[in-house]
Amino acid sequence: MTGRGTFAGDRFRADVLQVAFLRSPHAHALIERLDQSAALSAPGVTAIFTATDLVGLPIPAVRFAGVPAGASVLNLAAGELLASGKVVCVGQPVAATVARNAALARDAADLIAVDYKPLPAVIDVRDAMRSSAAVVHDGLATNVAFRFTIGAQDAEDFFAEADSVVRVQATSPRLAAIPLEPRTIVAEYDPSNDGLIVSLSTQVPHGVRQALSQMLGIPDANIAVKVGDVGGGFGAKAFAYAEEAVVAYLAWRLRASVGWTETRSENLQSMIQGRGQQSEIELGVTRHGAITGLRIATVIDMGSFVQPFAAGPANNAAMLGPGPYQIPKVCVSVTGVYTNKVPTAPYRGSGRPEAAYSLERAVSAAAQAIGMDPAELHRRNFIPADAFPYRTVTGMTYDSGNYAAAFEKALEIVDYEGWRRKQRAAPRKPRSIGIGIASFVEFSGPQLLEHAEVRVSGDGKVVMLSGASAHGQGHETTFAQVIADEFGVAMDAVDVLEGDTTAIPTGIGTFGSRSAALAGSAGLMAARHVKDILLHAAADLLEARTEDVELRNARFTVVGVPGPGLTFAEVAAAAVRGSGGRQAGKETWTGARETFESPGLTFPFGTHVAVVEVDSESGGVEILDYVAVDDCGNMINPLLVDGQVVGGIVQGLGQALMEEVIYDDSVQLLTGSLMDYAIPRAAHVPRLKLAHTVTPSPLNPLGAKGVGEAGATASPAAIFNAVLDAVAPLGVTELDMPLTAPKIWMAIQQARGR
Ligand code: MCN
């Protein structure tokens, strides 16, 4: 906002050649002829690359798809860098033009003549599974990419113990991630090692380095990835895209600096999308409100390829099936299906919102079926606080929790009983009040380890280098706090450096709400190690035993000995001298590198309550009240935690009320601009009441759990349940997201028989 950030787009110098991609206008078609002669002679053009220019590169493989072991079907198809022979979705890159500037590159791309032979395309996952459907990938017999089941054995008498079994459907529509900063990359040829220096907008610098190395056959030691400020990622920048690999390859082949920044339309068309899950849920409950079983059948729309981690959202949703409840039997079956659409992959929440929506929708329906207040049904089924660590029937081990405490706090703050009274007293026409509850548990900290280094230089300056890579989460603040606390120095004395694979040789990155618990703990361990070095140096200077020296408020003193002691900088200088000091440029420092490995995932949780008013004459929804009680263990920076919760809630509000990627019958994207794809604006966001309970995680020294996805996990379910609660007395029983005014209005008209 002050213009002082350095984004990948700020790395375009005048000599950087620019790339434009020619993209498929068809959802499914054979490429019969491609003529680039006119484009090659266009002004300012340096080169044009098509799939034939990439022959000899390693064939892309599906890198970690996230399908659990034991899948009954496994047909994973990786995307191509540039389409060869056939295109399988609108927007798939077919050719890349390189020119003096972006406009000339675009003009040249428009001069490439391609003859396509359109083929029948599949849009709907259920149609795609029919034997008569067109098959997206020639080598495969069907469109089923994978199939797996998690939890209990399915059986005829699955619901034998239930007095009532409710059946609901829950669709989480495809969503666009909409980072403020579109995908951007500048790749420079590095003659010193025949390698590349790559600046790009990503969440995973080390992952990109590895992927580029694999895709381009360049040793990863010869690729340096540098990430500056990033204008949001939301999961959609957590792997290397084909376009990014092509730009890097062009720089390497042309021995030049080559860059690309996508337009907003390209971003909407070809960045991965989130969600796209359809679930049928059955929940069995006794008349006294004990949940006896949960069966879910989910179909996830994979789009045209399997991107890295692409099965993650479906797998996560299945594993989190039972949520915060003690449910004796849970069976979740998942089918991943190809369609001729842009691929789906993890997007903020990555299965957590889908799980919470499915379960909380079914719990609400079950409460109605047995005539019990939904709050009471929640209360009767929570995993009790003394049951942790708790192993779910789906195989997850929840580290710690007190679900009832967060729930009761949320109900108290929102004044649940008060709203129920208002709801009963208020006339239902034309506006009716609805109250929705979403209790949830999610997981944070996947891949379980992260690296950090802490350096103290001779003048007392402290730097933490982290393998995480923030893109809006504020690690510069929170990690500085962790280190400053350990040393007793001011936060301003600590710099945090991320996103540079040259300075930080190993790292995993930022996704899965993993950074506080894993990178924060790695930083703390490294700081403790450095503190030991400093205490030894101080003991030498003070002629005391190390165990008698203490570090407080940035001063080293001997316990029980009055006097000013030594400053942090004095001891740092001695420690650097004593250790011989390591050098980079003018800086000399002493330091320690640590890897923190968590024994397991951490499980944040909470309860959100939404109160809405629905106008039956227009279908419009107004959020009257919204309370979020989140528990992410110990909070390092409560302000940033609240910022994360707010951002997540607003993304979930978008999902619940307005967002949906829409394709037409020929699988052309209709929501191709921000005129057509609705995202929430400030005026849509009610005053949010945020509160916390604190149940530390026993799995890391900070006692922290993640919070980056909590808001997005809970809010769609809370808002959905509130809207359905408002319109249920009008006879509406079925609705699905996004709850746009026309959709609600139509449902009310249908319920009235109109
Ligand atoms: N934090 C804290 N105390 C805790 C937990 C977290 O102070 N107990 C702080 C952390 O130190 C960090 C922030 O809160 O500054 C988020 O931490 P964490 O929950 O560990 O999540 P990550 O930093 O790993 O961020 C990933 C998460 C994910 S998965 C998505 S998607 C997402 C999100 O963060 N995308 C975002 N938040 C985003 N925020 C912005 N602005 N932009 C995105 O693209």
**259-290 pLDDT, tens per residue?**
999 999 999 999 999 999 999 999 999 999 99
Identify the residue whose tokens are 């694979």: 501
Cβ of 235 closer than 6 Å to ligand 1, yes or no, is yes
Cβ of 708 closer than 6 Å to ligand 1, yes or no, is yes
pLDDT of residue 58: 84
648 CA: nearest ligand 1 atom: 37
Ligand 1 mean position, distance from CA 239 (Å): 18
Ligand 1 mean position, distance from CA 634 (Å): 14
Ligand 1 mean position, distance from CA 751 (Å): 42
pLDDT of residue 586: 66
Rounded to an integer, what distance in angstroms lies between the CA atom of residue 736 and that of residue 744? 9
| Residues 9-32: tens digit of each pLDDT | 999 999 999 999 999 999 999 999
Ligand 1 mean position, distance from CA 708 (Å): 4
Instruction: Please tell me the residue having the least CA distance from ligand 1 atom 40.
Output: 472
Tell me, letter by letter, the H, E, C secondary structure of 663-701.
Answer: ECCCCCECCCCCCCCCCCCHHHCCCEEEEECCCCCCCCC
Q: Cβ atoms within 10 A of the Cβ of 548, count?
A: 14
pLDDT of residue 584: 60
Show the beta-strand stretches assigned E in 458-547: 462-466, 494-498
CB 684 within 8 A of CB 653: yes
Cβ of 232 closer than 6 Å to ligand 1, yes or no, is yes
472 CA: nearest ligand 1 atom: 41
Tell me, letter by letter, the H, E, C secondary structure of 540-569.
Answer: HHHCCCHHHEEEECCEEEECCCCCCCEEHH
Cβ of 631 closer than 6 Å to ligand 1, yes or no, is no
Angle of helix 416-425 versus helix 403-414 axis, rounded to 10: 50
pLDDT of residue 579: 74
Tell which residue, 506, 441, 454, has the closest CA to residue 220.
506
Rounded to an integer, what distance in angstroms lies between the CA atom of residue 646 and that of residue 161? 40
Tell me, yes or no, if the pTM score tops 0.95. Answer: yes
Tell which residue, 294, 438, 334, 388, has the closest CA to residue 65.
334
Nearest 5 degrees, angle CA 704-CA 709-CA 711? 105
Rounded to an integer, what distance in angstroms lies between the CA atom of residue 715 and that of residue 352? 11
Cβ of 409 closer than 6 Å to ligand 1, yes or no, is no
Ligand 1 mean position, distance from CA 513 (Å): 5
CB-based contacts of 55, cutoff 8 Å, min separation 6: none
Ligand 1 test: best mutation among 267, 444, 473, most atoms within 8 Å of CB? Answer: 473
Ligand 1 mean position, distance from CA 555 (Å): 32
Ligand 1 mean position, distance from CA 592 (Å): 25
Ligand 1 mean position, distance from CA 231 (Å): 14
pLDDT of residue 583: 61
Ligand 1 test: best mutation among 309, 513, 603, 649, most atoms within 8 Å of CB? Answer: 513
Amino acid, res. 711: G
Rounded to an integer, what distance in angstroms lies between the CA atom of residue 345 and that of residue 82? 20
Average pLDDT along the chain, 754 residues, taken 10 residues at a time: 90 95 98 97 97 88 90 94 96 98 97 98 96 95 97 89 98 97 97 97 97 93 97 97 97 97 97 98 98 98 96 98 97 98 98 98 98 98 98 97 98 98 86 96 98 95 97 97 96 96 97 98 98 96 96 94 93 88 72 97 98 96 98 98 98 98 96 96 95 98 98 98 96 95 97 90
Rounded to an integer, what distance in angstroms lies between the CA atom of residue 29 and that of residue 320? 39
pLDDT of residue 582: 67
pLDDT of residue 692: 98
Tell which residue, 635, 632, 624, 606, has the closest CA to residue 715.
606
Instruction: Please tell me the residue having the least CA distance from ligand 1 atom 14.
Output: 641
> In sequence order, what are the beta bridge partners of 174?
275
Ligand 1 mean position, distance from CA 463 (Å): 21
pLDDT of residue 581: 62
Cβ of 510 closer than 6 Å to ligand 1, yes or no, is yes
Q: What is the number of H-type helices and E-type strands within the chain?
A: 17, 30
Angle of helix 205-216 versus helix 242-254 axis, rounded to 10: 60
Rounded to an integer, what distance in angstroms lies between the CA atom of residue 497 and that of residue 703? 23
Cβ of 173 closer than 6 Å to ligand 1, yes or no, is no
Cβ of 481 closer than 6 Å to ligand 1, yes or no, is no
CB 725 within 8 A of CB 365: no
Ligand 1 mean position, distance from CA 707 (Å): 6
Cβ of 647 closer than 6 Å to ligand 1, yes or no, is yes
pLDDT of residue 106: 98
Rounded to an integer, what distance in angstroms lies between the CA atom of residue 661 and that of residue 344? 11
Cβ of 686 closer than 6 Å to ligand 1, yes or no, is no
What DSSP element (H or E) covers 405? Answer: helix 403-414
347 CA: nearest ligand 1 atom: 31
